[in-house]
A and B are shown apart, each in its own frame.
Chain A
Amino acid sequence: MSDRTLPRLLQTPAVVLLLIWMLVPLSMTLYFSFIRYVLNNLRRPEWTTPSLSNWRGFGNYEFVLKSKDFLFAIQNSLFIVCSILILTVILGVLIAVLVNRTFPGRGIVRVLLISPFFVMPAVNGVLWINMLLDPVLGLQGLAVNGLNDLAASLRDAPLIGWFFSLWPEFEPISFRATQTSAYAVIMMVTWQWTPFAVLIFMTSLQSEDQQQKEAAVLDGASTWAQFRFLTVPHLGRPIAIVVMIQAIFHLSLYAEIEIVSRGNGNKNLPYLIGEFANNNIGAASATGIFAVILANIVAIFLLRMIGKTLME
């Protein structure tokens, strides 16, 4: 045994564990996706046990592709992920620049800002959809009602009364409908992940070249020009990293969707798989394979993009 064999062998447990974790369930998914396999079927009980004699070829894939939920789930997944990415990056950059200056209580503001990131996703969903966004009992409902009451009470006031009598009655928005619940999900995840972006951008801003900035000030560059031509380019790499890490986490977004969307038609790919898996395992598996393909496309793209910078 050479001097370095044992040290190198030390990585095998991790590699083997991950390999099993990845390959065994995935190959079963692949197998199930090619057979007829349902959990309950009174007329065809033979379909309720996985067996090669129920071979269906690409039938499950066809079934999934033809179901109208599938296209919607993919579009919705991408819509939710992309919206979250755009919002967190923009908000993250702005807030990082804002908090990066020294001002009284900066440490406390930082602590306040980072807190949402540690809230567990299930609590995040329950908190937002009930206590904040509920159209009747939540803060949103209370705020809209309060505003309406205020306008109503001012209607009879002298001089300015006419102004408020022309005001519309505001309607609270229900975030439990198909499309609005996607907005609710975007809102709550953006709230949770913007702090993460802020933290990373702020760390990066601290390594910004101050001399270059001073030179720019001497040359009479406006604050906007400094931001646009010095800060934004400097943030290029951290932005790429924030996008990658968030893409990894949000493509498999589940708890928030589950809490906000049960039964109202809003779904992403993981949720659709969960729905299929209540009975039709073949279809669930085929959808799973599609999800793996989608994730791989994103992964290859992202790893290419920043893989090199990670390894430096």
Chain B
Amino acid sequence: MAIVAQTSRFSKIAWPIAAWAVGLLFFFPIFWMVLTSFKTDADAVKPEFLFFFTPTLENYLNMTENYDYWRFAANSVICSVFATVFTLFVGIPSAYAMAFNPSRSTKDVLMWMLSTKMLPAAAVLYPMTFITKNFLGIFDTHFLIILVLSLINLPIVVWMLFTYFKEIPKDIIEAGKMDGVNTWGEIREILVPLAWGGIASTALLCFIFCWNEAYWTVRLTTTDAATLSKLIEGNRAPEGLFFGRLSAVSTAAVGPIIVLGWFCQKQLVQGLTFGAVK
């Protein structure tokens, strides 16, 4: 790659080809999944129908019959939406306090929050099952999944919001105080409208993480609150007899999120690196 001199004619042609090849290579598994989802289960494993086949919508039409897709999808939507809302509800005031009224311990608190992310979930698996099943009786409920999803994303959300809020000049917030606006008013009427873009992309990212979460949603549910992660995980189908329908349900599970992801890829960098890479 780097041996080629920058101005040579060869590199002018080879460079885009190489870049396109890498892009297509990385996208190929997703393309393959979408393609397979339009094949019948029988066609999906036949080499003669690798690329040329009669497309069918059968797998999508039978998704409810085969997998009860919509129930799991509804659970995913409910849990992810409410978890995102709740996380923002707790996270915005917290990030506001840290960004505009920092104390000496703010940095340590932020670092500590991040460190809770590093706590291996598996270490507290059984106590979580025990508390929620025997003690609180909320095992396999939407409430539990929403709470857990909120808590595991709270540190990242606070961090992201904190980096966005830091960019806002303090004077603007202070000016509100002069006008006699109280703290809640400051957040609601000044901060939120100003940081709207940052809050929206934080919410989007939080939603994606909730949707894709695959440890607690699998281990703390059985049927009632089971999300799409649980559905796919439970149908890993080693025999390959159902490639078509498995692809269809997988495509339906990741499609919306990939499209959402395209819209927030720029914010992703700032969010996930906590503003350290610009």
Contacts and interface: CB of A to CB of B under 8 A. Distances in A.
Interface of A: 4, 6-11, 13-15, 17-18, 21-22, 24-26, 28-29, 32, 94-95, 97-99, 101, 103-106, 108-123, 125-132, 134, 136-139, 142, 145-146, 176, 191, 194-196, 199-200, 203-204, 207, 217, 222-224, 226-227, 237-238, 241, 245, 248, 251-252, 254-255, 258-259, 262, 269-271, 273-274, 277, 281, 284-285, 288-289, 291-292, 294-296, 298-299, 303, 306-307, 309-312
Given A122-B214, A251-B120, A288-B124, A130 B109 contact: no
A32 B120 contact: no
Given A110-B23, A128-B29, 16 more contacts: A10-B96, A14-B93, A18-B116, A26-B127, A98-B15, A112-B26, A115-B261, A118-B261, A120-B212, A125-B233, A130-B238, A130-B243, A142-B47, A200-B273, A254-B122, A291-B122
A248 B232 CA distance: 24
A7 B118 contact: no
Contacts of B269: 199-200, 203
The majority secondary structure among interface residues of chain A is: helix
Residue with the greatest number of chain B CB neighbours at <10 A, chosen from A94, A117, A224: A117
Contacts of B154: 14, 17-18
B178 interface: no
5 shortest A-B CB distances, which residue pairs?
A: A288-B123, A270-B122, A25-B124, A118-B261, A28-B127
B253 interface: yes
A310 B116 contact: no
Interface residues of B, number: 99
B240 to A, nearest CB: 4
Nearest to B100: A7
15 contacts: A7-B101, A109-B19, A114-B262, A119-B30, A119-B258, A120-B232, A121-B229, A122-B218, A130-B236, A203-B269, A203-B277, A204-B278, A252-B122, A254-B122, A269-B122
A248 B131 contact: no
A94 B29 CA distance: 21
A113 to B, nearest CB: 5
A248 B115 CA distance: 9
A52 to B, nearest CB: 16
Interface string B157-180: 010000000000000000000000
The majority secondary structure among interface residues of chain B is: helix
Nearest to A127: B33
Given A11-B93, A252-B121, A116 B29 contact: yes
A123 B125 CA distance: 23
Given A7-B97, A9-B97, A310-B276, A136 B47 contact: no
Nearest to B157: A14
Contacts of B238: 129-130, 176
Residue with the greatest number of chain B CB neighbours at <10 A, chosen from A131, A136, A145, A191: A131
Contacts of B198: none
A181 to B, nearest CB: 12
A268 to B, nearest CB: 9
Contact of A298 (B5, B118, B155): B118
B2 A223 contact: yes
Given A11-B94, A14-B154, A309-B276, A224 B3 contact: yes
Nearest to A256: B214
A204 B269 CA distance: 10
Contacts of A4: 101
Contacts of B131: 24-25, 28
Contact of A292 (B97, B109, B123, B218): B123
A218 to B, nearest CB: 13
B54 interface: no
A277 B101 contact: no
Contacts of A137: 45, 240, 243
B82 interface: no
Given A98-B18, A299-B115, A273 B262 contact: no
Interface string B121-135: 111111111110000
B117 to A, nearest CB: 6
A222 B45 CA distance: 49
B35 to A, nearest CB: 10
B247 A131 contact: yes
A104 B23 CA distance: 13
